[in-house]
Amino acid sequence: MKGLEARKPKSRMVSFRVDEDDLIRLDVLARQTSCSRAEVLRCCLWGVRLKSTLDAQALTEVSRVHANLNRIGGLLKLAIREGVADRTSHYGLNIELRDAIAQVRRAVECLAGQP
């Protein structure tokens, strides 16, 4: 969208009526893309594909959880290799691992558009 901003100075104003449903759809698109209503409409006029910032946030979350899974997996491998006999540490790592897997599942569902 930034490329459109540099095109020409905006000297004309357009005003028109929409029904409640169209306004809601416009506002949802604006929120999802972190754009103003006007920017969304300009993108539509120029055929520019709108990019969801929500998807980017979900990808960031998946990356964060992925890093946690790597950390937990490394700790679990170390515990097994070192022959840690303390069952409570294994149990704690398993709980952490289950929580991280649940976070990944939620993030993937968010990316897929599921609530």
Spatial distance between the Cα atoms of 62 and 103, rounded to a whole number of angstroms:
8
Q: How confident is the model at residue 108 (pLDDT cuts 50, 70, 90)?
A: confident
Spatial distance between the Cα atoms of 15 and 34, rounded to a whole number of angstroms:
22
The stretch 11-20 carries a mean pLDDT of 89
Spatial distance between the Cα atoms of 69 and 99, rounded to a whole number of angstroms:
10
Packing angle of the helix pair 37-46, 20-33 (nearest 10 deg): 90
What global pTM score does this model have?
0.44
- Note the Cα 50 to chain centre separation in Å: 15
pLDDT digits over 33-73, tens only? 888 999 898 888 888 888 776 666 767 777 787 787 788 77
**96 burial class (0-12, 13-18, 19+ CB within 10 angstroms)?**
middle
Both tokens of 81, joined, read 């290799």
